[in-house]
Every structure is written in structure tokens, then in C-alpha cells.
Homo-oligomer: A and B are copies of this chain.
Amino acid sequence: MTTPESRDDVVAPVVPARSAVRPLGLDAVRLAGGFWGEWESLARDAIIPHAEYWEERTGWLANFDAVAAGTIATRAGREFSDSEIYKLLEAMAWQLGRKPDAGLESRFAAIVARVSAAQQPDGYLSTMFGNPGQAPRWSQLDWGHELYCLGHLFQAAVARVRSGYRDELVTVATRAADHVCDVFAPGANPGICGHPEVEVGLAELGRALGERRYLDQAREFIERRGHHVLPDIEFGREYFQDDIPVRDAPVLRGHAVRALYLSSGALDVADEFADEELADAVRRAYDRTLERRTYVTGGMGSHHQDEAFGEDFELPADRAYCETCAGIGSVMTAWRLLLGTGDLRYGDIIERTMYNVVAVSPRADGRAFFYTNPLQQRVASQSVDADDISRRARAQLRAPWFEVSCCPTNVARTLSQFAAYVAVADQRGVSIVQYADADIRALLPRGAVLLRVRTDYPHNGRVSITVVESPTEAELRLRLPSWATGATVQRRGERSPVSAEALRDGVLELSALAVGEEIVLELPLAPRLTHPDPRIDAVRGSVAVELGPLVLCAESVDVDGADVADLVIDATAPLTSDASGVRARGWLRRAAPEGWPYRDDVDASGEAVEIPLVPYYSWAQRGPSTMRIWIPTS
């Protein structure tokens, strides 16, 4: 065991040199089943093998063999397909980092060997550029995704380094990173990548290996951006976040995944260079994005056309893009803000996004995925051929693989590292950020804390925390979600309401942990009505129903196949919740007259119905259906 100050062996994706609270890695937080524990296992047992199958089948892995053999005349996949191999490797590496597995280790090593064989003598690595018959290296920085792919390679290597390995993948990544630093050094190639990602990869690889040069290069890329380095395009320079420097941008804009990966990299750089101005700028922009450009699910990105944020309050339910990967990017950004500020309230948006964006994507068997996550489905989704590569944004059920297949591997790596987002520590104690069945260990200056958390959350609000081990005077802090009014805490047999102050600050502080004691947090899981800000035009006159961290939805399969477009909710009637689920009272609107749909009056009468509501993450798991989260009140 290292000293509590050492962060070298934290098996986690983000380990800042300095931060208000420090992360606890996959070795320190072990999920013991429950919602996220099951997804963690499913990633290992289903999603990862599924991605291996498709990456082989599509020829995206064989691209590396062809480069190694010098025969890459024709190439499979889009320009960024290499990144899917690296994200798969990252997912595998986190699974191996949390639990050794000889079979998985050898599959991992076999893929690494194929990647390694394609690396050029000077460290350059791409199956898309620079090989005989291909465009020259770095000749299409705007759309080529060369540096983007390498950023994912670096993140995969970080997972390896943090898990205690310095193996072939780390060597490949180091050689590639050295090459990038040579090519893009100040005074050399002044470019940046059209898709941010290399910044976050270089920063973390630099941290993990103690390689200052990588951090300098990450900073260099961050600082270059926003000065019209890339060509202007139809969507505008904001698509690339090349319109305004990161430190001057008031809000996230343009392509959502790009904006969020960039924010994450900028926070890493800000931390390493103690650049508070930069950190504050990203925090302000992200906070404003939460206030004005985020769906109730936590989803981000309103536009299909450019996969971009819309204007403030431009949040249509039916055309919501809410790409799964943008949800993951938002988790990445919020997690860095939580570490940097110590404000556990960033755990709220992480929780909301994990349950209502990331967990929506995979089918229950882990072999099909949503790419986009709209809040309303007007026409029952089309079934998908299990044997087909899908287009990304069609109204269809979860699909096995995509031409642009960023989401499945992104989900795999995120679920595989999720334990690292559950708790943090500082000198005084431990903070629980996400409620999950978990054993949490943290070393404080006076000794180790070991907590055993058991809960059926989010299906039940009771969270039991047993203090298995603790030094004297250790503290425990529990994140209180913003909806937790009415929460109680029980300690030494005594149950008391959580104070208004604690609710306001979003954190319950408990001092003087005693070995053997059980602390029970009761979060109020009654269903509740949620109203949108009146500036969100698209859902005016509608409400959503939430249950704890879960956003619920009405699905046509639960209303005898009636079109959910005709549902109206009675917002004055109580919601009911029992073993059979959550129900609202309402009515099914009478068929509107045909003809020109703009009239001098409206008839909103209808027939009384009960409206069953199910967690949004579970929608379309029972076949094609229409669905809506926001339900009209009249």
C-alpha cells in the first residue's frame, strides 16, 4: 500500500496531480452486483465480445494487418475506425485492471500485437493515412480523425499503465505520443484535429507516465483551438469549437461530442498547469450548458444535422439527438469538475446521464445499441436486422453495429470503468458519489477506511453503509441528489431528517465513523412531476414524471397500443407507485378533426385512462413502440 498522498497506483481513468478530492480506482471500489455491477459484468461478458466480433467481421481490425503487410490498397470502414479498436482495448484493459482474466488477457494481447505490427518505425500509426496509395499523413486534419484515433489509443494505454502494466500497448502509445509531440511541437506543424480527443489522451498519458512533454502538447492543442485554425464549413466553425478559444467561450456549442471531449481535455490541462482561469471558463460554460442546453435526461445535442447543441432552450423532444457518446462526454467533463472543485453536486448530472442516456443505449443482452436517444418516438421504431450494419440516426430499434460505430465501444469502456466514479476521498474522509452495491476502500492519513454499501437503488431508496474499518475521526460524505427533499438518515438506531442546509449543499456530512456501525440513508423514491422551464418551447404545457434518478416515459406497448401522441396527463391527480410500477391519471384525447390543423379553437376532451410509466432506459426493449417522456397536461 502506498502512502495516501501517492496517486500512482489509482486504477482510474482520471487521476489529476492536484484536485479537491482524489479518485478511488477500480481496485479500491468493487461493485458487488446491483444495477451498475450487472452492467459492468455485461460489458465484459457480452459487449466486449460483441465488439470483437464486429471489428473482425467489418475488417476494421484487419486494416492493421494489411498495413503491417503493406497491402492496404483498399481499406474497410470510415476514417475513424481505428479508434473503435482502441476503445475496445481500453474497455478490455479496465476489465483486466479490476479483475485478472487469462482468456481476456490473451484476446487483448492478440489485438495489441496486430495494432503494434502496423506502427511505422517513427511511431506514426494509422490505417487511413500515410500508407502506399493513401493520402499523406496529417493532410486532412479537419476531417481525417488521425489525432482523434491516437487520443483513444492513449486512453487505452492509460488503463494499462494505471493497472500496473508497462506492456506492448504502452510502448506503442508512447512511441505514437512522442511522434505527435515531434510533429506538432510549437514552430512545427501548427494544426489541430477536427475532433478533440488527443488532448484528453495526451494529458492522461502524461500524468500516468510522468511525461511532462505530453502534457505540454495537450496544452498546446487546447490553446491553439478557437483561433480559426481549421477551415470554415457550412455548419460554422463552432462545429469544431474553433470559433472561440476555450477560455473565452461562454457555453458549449457545435458538435456535442467534440465540445465535451474538448472540455474534458481543457480541464485536465487547467489542473496540470494550475490554470484557474481556464478551469473556471470550462466550469462556467458547462454549468450554462446544463442550465440551457441539456435535456431532462442529461442528454446533450439537439440537432441531427450537425450532431450539435442548439441555441439556448432549443430542446425538441422528438428530434433530440442526445448521442450516447455525448452523454459519455458529459460524464467525463462533470467527473473532472467534481474532482477539481470537490462539489459532489456534479454527481447529480453524472447519475442522471448514466441512467437516462448511457444505460438507454445497450439492449438488455448487450448486443445492440441506440446511437441517438430522443425523448419522443412518434412512429414505432423499425426492427433491425441483427446481421446488418446500421445507419446511425434512423428511427429503429437498438442495432448491433453502425457504420459510425462510436457508441458500442464507448459504452463498453464507460461501463467497465464505472466503479471509478462511485466514490472519492480526501484527507478527512470518503465521499460516496453514486449509490451502488460496492465495497469501498480508501487510505486516509490515519489509516484505511472500508465501507460496505448495500442497496437496491435506484429501485429502492434505502442505502445501507456498514463501516467495516475506519481510523478515528474519519468522515463520510454522502451526495444528496437535488430531488432528495424528505431524505432521512439513521445512525446508531436513530433516524433523523436530513437538514435543509445539507439538501441545499447536496451533501450530508457524517463525522466520527465507528467501526461496525451501520448508516442508513433513505432517499425518497416517490414519483414526482417535473415542469420544464417556460423558455423551452418544444415541451411547453407538458410534464415529465421522475422517480429518483430515473426519468420515466409512457410507451405504447403499455397503453393497449394506443398512440402515446394522444395521451394527456392530469397534473392535479396524484401519481401512484406500487409493485406493478408507476401510474398517472389522464385521458386519451378524442380523435382530432381532419383538415387544416390550425383552427380557431381546440377540443382537448377525451376518455379517462391510467398511464403506466416505465424507466426511459428500458424503453423499446419489448419490441417496436411509440414513446414519450414529456406528456401534455391539457
Contact = CB atoms under 8 A, between A and B. Distances in A.
Interface of A: 234, 236, 290-292, 294, 296, 303-305, 310-314, 316-319, 376, 378-379, 391-394, 403, 482, 528-542, 544, 565-566, 589, 592, 594-602, 604, 630, 632
Contacts of A598: 296, 530-533, 544
Contacts of A630: 537
Contacts of A565: 313, 535, 537
A282 to B, nearest CB: 18
Contacts of A528: 600
A132 B563 CA distance: 57
> Which of A312, A392, A535, A594 neighbours the largest number of chain B CB atoms within 10 Å of its CB?
A535
A602 B534 contact: yes
B541 A538 contact: no
Contact of A319 (B319, B392, B532, B592): B319
Contact of A592 (B530, B533, B600): B533
Given A305-B305, A311-B378, A319-B319, A234 B540 contact: no
5 contacts: A234-B391, A313-B378, A533-B598, A533-B602, A534-B589
A592 B394 contact: no
Contact of A604 (B236, B290, B403, B534): B534
Nearest to A403: B234
Nearest to A539: B537
Nearest to A376: B537
A539 B630 CA distance: 14
Chain A to chain B: the 6 pairs with minimum beta-carbon distance, closest first: A541-B541, A533-B597, A305-B305, A540-B541, A304-B305, A311-B378
A325 to B, nearest CB: 18
A379 B234 CA distance: 18
Nearest to A599: B531
Given A597-B291, A600-B528, A602-B531, A537 B317 contact: yes
A526 to B, nearest CB: 12
A589 B597 CA distance: 28
> Which of A313, A316, A599 neighbours the largest number of chain B CB atoms within 10 Å of its CB?
A316
Contacts of A294: 597
> Which of A312, A541, A597 neighbours the largest number of chain B CB atoms within 10 Å of its CB?
A597
A525 to B, nearest CB: 15
Contact of A599 (B530, B537, B600): B530
Nearest to A352: B596
A534 B234 contact: no
B538 A537 contact: yes
Given A537-B565, A538-B538, 5 more contacts: A294-B597, A304-B304, A314-B378, A531-B598, A534-B632
A533 B599 contact: yes
A311 B599 CA distance: 20
A316 B316 contact: yes
A296 B376 CA distance: 23
A439 to B, nearest CB: 32
A582 to B, nearest CB: 16
Contacts of A392: 234
Given A291-B595, A482-B596, A312 B602 contact: no
Nearest to A604: B534
A452 B319 CA distance: 50
B378 A540 contact: no
> Which of A290, A305, A317, A598 neighbours the largest number of chain B CB atoms within 10 Å of its CB?
A598
A601 B304 contact: no
Contacts of A540: 540-542, 632
